[in-house]
Structure 1
């Protein structure tokens, strides 16, 4: 009987953050959820349990901002192409999630948006040729006015929550514009700022609004007269860097700000006096670029992507949500409840599965300076070994402790294509374009034990036998070279020829009797190691290059991941037609797969997500 696998948990990416630009964070008190974007994903996190999250892929281009409707039933998201999609927050019982409406509103990226208090209209702002702002009925797309007086990219917008309704915009031309309506028409332009206006927000009662800017100024306006009625964060209370975002408390009595000076501050909205300052960190990645206030929770965003729960009463960060905000390139496991992910910026995260399905990031470290190619847990879970496009083989001591992580770096002569590790023999193999080398030792290894030129072949993948006695090397030409390691030297034992494309993934079974290989021509084969014969073939059900292969603990099943976004689980004692396909496991392609146990598989992909799949009994 074919197996059935379902999604058990997802480790969604952190918000996309860019230095010098504000990131839109939003939430809904009714649903008690935070919403933000990363790549093509709109991500939801439960505020009380941030590891309970969901990533929705409804756009075909990068999503730039997303916000809940006032009642929390709908979500509006804008993208790089200037398109807006409105869709139901709750997934349908049958079929895929589809937008209720899809509207092209701007000629360039949508940077920010806001809902009318009735939830029937949306105002969107951004960049591009032509219009830089538009207000429309989301169910029909009809236009509500013209937004004149905008000459450069609009960074922020706010819709007044009370009548008479107004829309306020903040732009890169340093102006704060006010429009009355609907239909909306230009009322006035305020030019008190001397640099980019990064964020504008109305108070909950609609009597005031605030603008914050890269000129470090924070201004308060009377919403009736549209004139500046005060300034906070000035003098001794001033931020030392650009003020990137602001948020009102639900009661309207306080205002929070975040800045590139790595601090978040709380002000009294009546007296405009500073109440508390929280220093989030001291490094560049600790710059604060986003902020939202949902219920009792104030959440800020660091440039690193980390989400910080701010406790102004204690003057500290009470909780930090860590993870990745870039595409994932490598995956490794250590035991059934511990695994590691690496993103192309060189960051590695350590994940632990606790209490059934709850998975938390236990640590992280900047291991490589460029894309990590492959990782393996070593020394019985005490270290993590990886190779990357920074031409290094690095060993990181576990657990990962940020900048305090002990790293041992071995410089490689050229760029590695793949690597593998043998626990029993404490050997690592690294394949380059023209040769393969074997490295002896763990954290304090002795260095290169031996190496072998590939005699005109170009290496593409490798695997090491569980006993350390053999090394398999896949080549661009489709050959699998079986090398024998004996007396500190390598020799060619067999050449396995059956593939019709580059051998892109290799893995020995746990027993060492079998070798699985996948190629760029979408075919997977299982070889009998001692005879070199094909034991299982006709596994050609991917539609693109196979990127990874993984054996179940019992060696009875094989999992493969592909650029086609799918993961296929193959029972080796049954025909290929009895396979189970996890369709669209990762929208942008699968880059890693590992068995945590017989009934759980963890995968990662270039959608920046990591997922755990459970076998349904």
Structure 2
């Protein structure tokens, strides 16, 4: 098929770090002190912490990424939950320098100051760590001394080479190298060791554990060098609860610790006294836990369990900024009309975010405040009044703005499957649940169901899959899992059914060549036929180039003739009703599949996928 023009990505809203209850999340910084690196789902992320400080780099794995370690200005190493380690080029082509599977799961990665030797730790059948030369891939010693999972590793930044590991067996092991070999074990911790870190000079290393302790050691011999104890806290402890992360500043004079008590502390290394404290409130005790930290240049970044990255100035008790993103697949997406200045997105955990949008650039990301959803957000749509309505797996439809959820709420009879809006030309809203559908009314602070849509008797026992409203509000469409699409008029009266060869998983109304309405039907098989909603007749059936289930369809609001399609094949495509053979596509866009796509004004698209990212695309005509 012909392609006239192109789809180009202009911006990406980066997903937040993946966090796991009771485990440390590893954060690292690039050598230039401007970017932070972490794992987000199956994506390795390297992103700037300040606007204009460089581009974001995303590298995919087949399994969840557990750690990302920048090695130099040109390479980074990432490890995943299946034990794979990949060393890849960060300059743009993402070519692989090294690929190995030394363990069953990777928990942490360390590299020497020369960028030539790598130590990885985690879980394995025959051991809990491995080391190898980056140039040859050959082993450079044995990582041993533990009887349980190893959670952290750090290497001395100067010769003689040393490495330290921390484990669930309550111990830290000290290794001499190269080649690496076991030297000694310290059992000063009384619970899991979560994190270890070397000072830049190599004179000290520190370990942090679930016992609330942060302990110091001689970086060359491994001898005990005391502990960090908060005089205002529990006796002989640095934090009241688990300490998930410890990191040294670039000058080695201060060290940061972050814990399950929701507090991050900055300590003076020489005096072992607290210089600064930051307490975080993310709405509940678990979300507020600080599970990772790292110094990025002169800033300190601390990670909440909720996924929020707090950028801190060591000289101020007030956070500089918060970096927010989705930790889970994006499942709902809407763009504020008519200015297309905000993206409202929801994910599979119920979190709803608002992202500033100007032209092809994405701006600040903020959480929509208030009592949101307690389960997967099925859809977010805009109302004619300029607000938004969302539906979730908690069986509730809610009203919201760009800033907060409102008091408007409507319980549903069963689990919602789709929510559609005819805005801005009509006030009509359509809700489809598993077993029923109804037209809704949204007015100010109230939501109500006005008309129930009755399916024909032949599909009365079928489950609903997708829903759509025509821009004028004259037509409504519902698809059911008996491979049918049912059409209704604007008042909710049944008109006719269309029989298909496969289930319809996405629906959208647009405009045909002659100006009459048309409904696009995205099938489970990847095909997108067009039908006349007035007669139920097939208009055209030429779009069959998608290789997996169609997840979302959206016609442009300007003319209603350009159709954007999202699919599980990880692609976004744009079709033209007037020129069916002119197809634009952008493949490998969201790892795991594209869940939603929406127009953001003329020639602009936004997409959300299973990778938790939101991408801004420009539709370029030939």
| Equivalent residues in 2 for 1:122-161, closer than 5 Å | 122-161=118-157
Task: Report how far residue 300 of structure 1 moved.
Answer: 0.7
Picking from 172, 175, 178, the partner of 2:174 is: 178
2:225 matches 1:225:
no
Corresponding position of 2:392: 388
Corresponding position of 1:206: 202
Corresponding position of 1:523: 527
Corresponding position of 1:101: 98
Residues in 2 aligned to 1:426 and 1:415: alpha-carbon distance in whole angstroms: 23
Picking from 285, 291, 294, the partner of 1:292 is: 294
Task: Report how far residue 5 of structure 1 moved.
Answer: 1.2
Residues in 1 aligned to 2:301 and 2:534: alpha-carbon distance in whole angstroms: 58
User: Residues 486-507 of structure 1, C-alpha deviation per residue, up to 9 Å, x if partnerless?
Assistant: 4xxx32212233x311111111
2:574 matches 1:569:
yes
Checking the alignment, whether the CA contact within 8 Å between 2:412 and 2:433 is kept in structure 1 is no
> Aligned to 2:232, what secondary structure does the other structure show?
helix
Residues in 2 aligned to 1:302 and 1:529: alpha-carbon distance in whole angstroms: 49
Residues in 2 aligned to 1:574 and 1:271: alpha-carbon distance in whole angstroms: 73
User: Residues 461-513 of structure 1, C-alpha deviation per residue, up to 9 Å, x if partnerless?
Assistant: 11123333332111222222111244xxx32212233x311111111227882
Residues in 2 aligned to 1:302 and 1:451: alpha-carbon distance in whole angstroms: 44
Checking the alignment, whether the CA contact within 8 Å between 1:280 and 1:317 is kept in structure 2 is no
TM-align CA RMSD: 2.0
Residues in 2 aligned to 1:280 and 1:213: alpha-carbon distance in whole angstroms: 20
TM-score, length basis structure 2: 0.93
Residues in 2 aligned to 1:311 and 1:276: alpha-carbon distance in whole angstroms: 10
Pair 1:52–1:591, CA change in 2 (3 A): farther
Task: Report how far residue 261 of structure 1 moved.
Answer: 0.8
Task: Report how far residue 51 of structure 1 moved.
Answer: 9.2
Corresponding position of 2:487: 482
Residues in 1 aligned to 2:472 and 2:220: alpha-carbon distance in whole angstroms: 78
Corresponding position of 2:543: 539
Pair 1:55–1:409, CA change in 2 (3 A): farther
Corresponding position of 1:251: 251
Pair 1:72–1:49, CA change in 2 (3 A): same
Pair 1:419–1:217, CA change in 2 (3 A): same
Residues in 2 aligned to 1:338 and 1:300: alpha-carbon distance in whole angstroms: 27
> Aligned to 1:57, what secondary structure does the other structure show?
strand
TM-score, length basis structure 1: 0.93
Task: Report how far residue 64 of structure 1 moved.
Answer: 1.0
2:614 matches 1:610:
yes
Residues in 1 aligned to 2:239 and 2:55: alpha-carbon distance in whole angstroms: 33
Corresponding position of 2:280: 280
Pair 1:142–1:345, CA change in 2 (3 A): same
Checking the alignment, whether the CA contact within 8 Å between 2:408 and 2:447 is kept in structure 1 is no
Residues in 2 aligned to 1:270 and 1:105: alpha-carbon distance in whole angstroms: 38
Checking the alignment, whether the CA contact within 8 Å between 1:12 and 1:55 is kept in structure 2 is no
Corresponding position of 1:347: 351
| Equivalent residues in 2 for 1:69-88, closer than 5 Å | 69=71, 71-88=72-89
> Aligned to 2:385, what secondary structure does the other structure show?
helix
Task: Report how far residue 614 of structure 1 moved.
Answer: 0.9
Picking from 371, 376, 384, the partner of 2:381 is: 376
Checking the alignment, whether the CA contact within 8 Å between 2:10 and 2:360 is kept in structure 1 is no
Pair 1:547–1:395, CA change in 2 (3 A): same
> Aligned to 1:569, what secondary structure does the other structure show?
strand
Task: Report how far residue 425 of structure 1 moved.
Answer: 4.7
Which has the larger displacement, 216-225 or 37-46? 216-225
Checking the alignment, whether the CA contact within 8 Å between 1:217 and 1:234 is kept in structure 2 is no
User: Residues 45-91 of structure 1, C-alpha deviation per residue, up to 9 Å, x if partnerless?
Assistant: 1133289653523422111111111x321111111121211111112
Of structures 1 and 2, the one with the larger relative CO (CA 8 A, separation 6+) is 2
Task: Report how far residue 235 of structure 1 moved.
Answer: 3.6
> Aligned to 1:150, what secondary structure does the other structure show?
coil
Residues in 1 aligned to 2:121 and 2:127: alpha-carbon distance in whole angstroms: 9
Checking the alignment, whether the CA contact within 8 Å between 2:13 and 2:362 is kept in structure 1 is no
Residues in 2 aligned to 1:72 and 1:65: alpha-carbon distance in whole angstroms: 18
Residues in 1 aligned to 2:63 and 2:246: alpha-carbon distance in whole angstroms: 28
Residues in 1 aligned to 2:481 and 2:346: alpha-carbon distance in whole angstroms: 25
Corresponding position of 1:500: 501
The gaps in structure 2 that reach 5 residues or longer are none
> Aligned to 1:429, what secondary structure does the other structure show?
strand
The gaps in structure 1 that reach 5 residues or longer are none
| Aligned pairs, number | 601
> Aligned to 2:443, what secondary structure does the other structure show?
coil
